[in-house]
Structure 1
Amino acid sequence: MRLGDLVVDTTPLRHSKEFRYLFIARMVSLFGFGLTTVAIPVQIYDLTGSSLHVSLVSVVIMVPMLVGTLAGGVLADRVDRRRLIVLARAGVVPVFALLALNALLDPAQLWVIYLCAALNSVLNGLSATALMAATPAIVGRDQLASAGALMAITAELGAIVGPSLGGALTAAFGLSANYALTGVATLVTTSLVALIRPLPPTGPVDESPLRSIAEGLRFVARSRVVAGLLLIDMCVALFTMPFALFPEIAERVFAGGAGVVGLLYAAPAAGAMIAASASGWTGRVRHTGRYLVAATVACGAAVALFGLSGGALWLALTALALLGAADTVSEILRRSLLQHNTPDHLQGRVSSLWLAQTNVGPALGNFEAGLLARLVGPLTAVVAGGALCVATSAAVGAAMPALRRASLLDPSADELAGDAA
């Protein structure tokens, strides 16, 4: 493998003006999301003094996000995808305006914060699904891995910079300014998405929504590659998400406080950024499925290494960085293979299933890790999760040869359908 193959492939940015619009829009949107990840918990804790109320935000966000994602999958295959993204993003602007006005009240109304968080989650679910479904038509099937890597970079930059900027902005100018800036950022993303060409549906739209959902489920059940991708994605989500244990591990294992917790959370993001920046090879390898299975197994091994690090903080941070790197490679390959093997008229529904699993899986994984930690201790729980990820990922790869043989260099689902016709 040449050194040039390791550098992230920027072809989609150089050759597609519309992808540049989406790339910038997503970057700005993720920075805005990072602002609110700080502002909403801080405001709720200031109002209630209760961590329970803060934790309830996760539930308030997760359920509407799931509804919006599933609904977005059906709508993305029935209406113009660009219009759906624009309408969903535009609908978020008044939500942040309401949050900004509520923050000026003395005291602010707690129910308004929960309501706005729920509305924002529904609309984010709609736009995220439509965006994922629209990507193959914008960049082309041969650039899916490159586009996925570039999108992964925006996600990691947003995760690193957004919360830091949100905390500084809130401390300097207050919560209302934070929400107002997020609303402006959302307006910018809406304007950028509006510049791309219309993306009308390519399949029949006269069937009922329930039949439309059933068609998507039947496709997933028939496609051994897509079904295998969803299964192996669940292995990662369930068994490599020990993030809820970081505060306890920082205190009991490393005898540290918030500073150590921050390092534990930052290490996977750092590894992910490095992997995404060196992902040029992901779209060029022949055996994409095999690399995917290997990356997923590597996620489990990295988690187990973290659990076995003992009191060596440097080893724990290294293991978490390896986890972030392996997970990013795995996600790029999973997303690319999913889009490559899904016909365009089903992209919305299949993407919604994948995104729904992506949203729910980590929450279940954190709950599983917390429950197991109470029974056997945090480090043993982490090692067990890593071992289970290795075992289940290897089992999925062994039981589904179609997934192992899958390649981004093979004809896409649309090309195969055209040849058959």
Structure 2
Amino acid sequence: MSFRDIFADTRPLQVPAYRRLWTANIATTIGAQLTVVAVPVQIYAITGSSAYVGLTGLFGLVPLVIFGLYGGSIADGFDKRKVLVVSTLGMILTALAFWGLSVAGNTNVWWLLSVFALQQAFFAVNQPTRTAVFRSILPLEQLPAGSSLNMMLMQFGAIVGPLIAGALIPLIGFSWLYALDAALLIPTLGAVLALPSLPPSGQAQKAGFRSVVDGLSYLWTQPILLVAMLLDLIAMTFGMPRALYPEIAAESFGESGDGGGGMMLALLYSSMAAGAVLGGLLSGWVSRVVRQGLAVIVCIVAWGVAVIIAGGAVMLSPGAVTMWAWMVILMLVLGGAADMFSAALRTAILQQSAAEHVQGRIQGVYIVVVVGGPRLADVLHGWAAGPFGVGLATLLGGVLVVVGTLLCAVFVPSFTNYLRPGPRTVDADPVTD
């Protein structure tokens, strides 16, 4: 393996359609994070209540679940290019709706929450369709690399977007932040319009409830796909201690607990995303690994071990920023990299293993899993912190990740033994010419 092979596999960027989508998404991902920050901050500014801010979770989760499932059905039943165009336009219009409400001086929080729910519905249709498109525009052996590059970009946006939003809100206010989000979606709309027609396969069903049920029935018969999603739930539900970060920063690292935040709190929230970006930069091996199932198992176990060590370091911290505090940050960074490797491989396995006519519905279910796992983690970790303390709750979560992953490996050996499919070329068409 050469030194160059260590770094991210950029071959997907040689495919014009993928390159246009990926490049445009640099701006769009940052813009999306501006709204992710602006909406709860504006709601708090209007109400002064964290309870109202918490409603963004409910108003965001419900449409993501409903339209994540139904959006996959839409992606399979219609021309994927048209679905991407409509859903991208929908996200632009909802960003402009936020802008209009703010310019008009709206102080009704329910209007903001309703527009937020509508925006998440468009996102829930757009995301599985976008992921399903990759299988049509990339050679099969480049899907892991394409997933790695895409996830690295999303995590980059998760770091940079909130920093920009935090700096701009005092300077330009909420309204122009929303306008900027709408403007940053335009490059992606242009990249989507440049795609050729991507009609449904001959086996595709008409979008609807029956199509959703049939997609779930198909998934139930595919142990490889089921375990790939189950492993994501295990890793995120038990191994994502983000709900404990404020208490860890205050009690274990001695920062102010009055809501003012601090350096360690910021590092806790950004460490996993930073690790994922680092992992993306060093993801060259992901495209070459043949035993993809085993690689996923190893990566998730590594994530669980990192969480165990982080929890132990929290327990040993004397209530100040010491070497133990930095050990926690280091483990979360390393864990974020391991999780990125695992997620890229799992996404590639889903794209490779699911039949063409159910790609959208499988990705729709996966969106629900990806969204639901961290929210379940918030509930479970918040509950466990009371009787166990934040350090032990974090440590035990890591233990459950390792145990759950190893049980999957033992009881479903077909996943552990899963091999990367042989090379497949994409038919010559306007996508790759």
Please give the range of the TM-score, normalised by the shorter of the 2 chains.
over 0.9
Partner of 2:430: none
Partner of 1:7: 7
Conservation of the 8 A alpha-carbon contact between 2:71 and 2:128: yes
Offset, 1:34:
1.0
Post-superposition offset of 1:411: 7.1
Q: How many residues align?
A: 412
Q: CA deviation at 1:207?
A: 5.3
- Which residue number corresponds to residue 36 of structure 1? 35
Q: Deviations over 1:124-157 (max 9, x none)?
A: 0000010011111111211101101110111111
1:396 and 2:400 are equivalent in the alignment = no
Structure 2 partner of 1:234: 233
- Aligned equivalent of 1:84: 83
- Structure 2 counterpart of 1:163: 162
**Residue 195 of structure 1 pairs with residue 194 of structure 2:** yes
Matched AA of 1:324: G
SS in structure 2 opposite 1:203?
Answer: coil
Counterpart Cα distance in 1 of 2:141 and 2:266? 38
Partner Cα distance (1:94, 1:404) in 2: 44
In the other structure, the counterpart of 1:138 is 137
Aligned partner of 1:303 in structure 2 is 307
Does 1:282 find its partner at 2:295?
no
Q: Secondary structure at the match of 2:77?
A: coil
Match of 1:359 in 2: 371
Which residue in the other structure is 2:221 paired with?
Answer: 222
SS in 2 for 1:308: helix
Which amino acid is the alignment partner of residue 399 of structure 1?
F
The offset of 1:208, in angstroms, is: 6.8
State the alpha-carbon separation in 1 of the partners of residues 205 and 57 from structure 2. Answer: 36
Give distance in 1, aligned partners of 2:119 and 2:289. Answer: 39
Q: Per-residue CA shift, 1:168-195, capped at 9, x if unaligned?
A: 2212111111011111112332122111
Q: TM-score, normalised by structure 1?
A: 0.95
The alpha-carbon distance between structure 1 residues 221 and 59, as it changes in their structure 2 partners (threshold 3 A), is: same
Match of 2:338 in 1: 326
Letter in 2 for 1:398: V
> What are the within-5 Å matches in structure 2 for residues 174-213 of structure 1?
174-206=173-205, 209-213=208-212
In the superposition, relative to structure 1, how do residues 321 and 222 fare at CA in structure 2: closer, same or farther (>3 Å)?
A: same
Offset of residue 409 of structure 1: 3.7
> 1:254-309 CA deviation, whole Å, 9 max, x = no partner?
10242211011121122111111111111111211111101011111111111001
CA contact (8 A) 1:102 1:109 kept: no
- Out of 282, 288, 295, the residue aligned to residue 291 of structure 1 is 295
Name the stretch that deviates more: 91-100 or 287-296.
91-100
Moved more, 16-25 or 75-84: 16-25
TM-score for both structures, normalised by structure 2: 0.92
1:372 partner letter: A
Q: Quote how far apart the aligned CAs of 1:210 are.
A: 3.3
Tell me whether 263-272 or 300-309 shows the greater mean CA deviation.
263-272
For the 8 Å contact 2:77–2:207, the answer to whether it is kept is: no
Tell me how far apart the structure 2 counterparts of residues 383 and 206 of structure 1 sit (CA, whole Å).
46
Contact 2:141–2:423 (CA under 8 A) maintained in structure 1: no
Share of identical aligned residues, percent? Answer: 31
Q: Partners of 1:46 and 1:281 in 2: how far apart? A: 46
- 1:233 CA drift (Å): 1.3
Name whichever of 223-232 and 213-222 sits farther off: 213-222
Contact persistence 1:84–1:127 (CA under 8 A): yes
Q: C-alpha distance in 2, partners of 1:178/1:208?
A: 35
Residue in 1 that maps onto 2:350: 338
Q: Quick one: structure 1 residues 396 and 34, their matched pair in 2 at CA, closer, same or farther if it must change by over 3 Å?
A: same
Tell me, yes or no, if the aligned pair for 2:237 and 2:373 is still in contact at 8 Å.
yes
Q: Aligned Cα RMSD in Å?
A: 1.6
Paired position in structure 2 for 1:26: 25
Corresponding residue SS for 2:240: coil
For structure 2, the 5+ residue unaligned runs are 318-323, 427-433
Residue 401 of structure 1 deviates from its aligned partner by 1.0
Q: Structure 1 86/208 Cα, relative in aligned 2: closer, same or farther at 3 Å?
A: closer
